[in-house]
Amino acid sequence: MTSKQRAYLKSLANNIEPIFQVGKSSLTPEVTEAVIESFNTRELIKISVLKNCLDDPKEIASILSDRTHSEVVMVIGKKIVLYKESKDHKKIELPKAPKLPK
């Protein structure tokens, strides 16, 4: 993902509310499964890490992105934004990556 594409996704993420919260029990299989399910209908997901969660939000984002095969757009404070391109319900058109000279 290029920095231009990441910036575009960040701008889109500003307008969405978190749809999941990670709390005291941290990253449970149920949370992971729910995020996987939500990628069936959405491409961009915002997750809030609650204050009572002792794990680092960057670690949670990294683990979630590995388990869901998505990309971490950003982690700011206790907010995580993940992106996964949808094959069936594509709504977000990323800016094209520049072609490198041969």
Per-residue pLDDT tens digits for 33-54: 999 898 888 889 999 999 998 8
Question: The CATH number of the domain where 60 resides is what?
Answer: 3.30.110.60
88 located within any domain: no
Which ranges of the chain have pLDDT less than 70?
89, 97-102
Radius of gyration of the chain measured on its C-alpha atoms? 14
100 located within any domain: no
- Contact by Cβ (8 Å): 47, 64: yes
**In degrees rounded to 5, what are phi and psi of residue 57?**
-55, -35
Please report, rounded to a whole number, the percentage of residues in the chain having pLDDT higher than 90: 42
| pTM, two decimal places | 0.85
| Number of domains making up the chain | 1
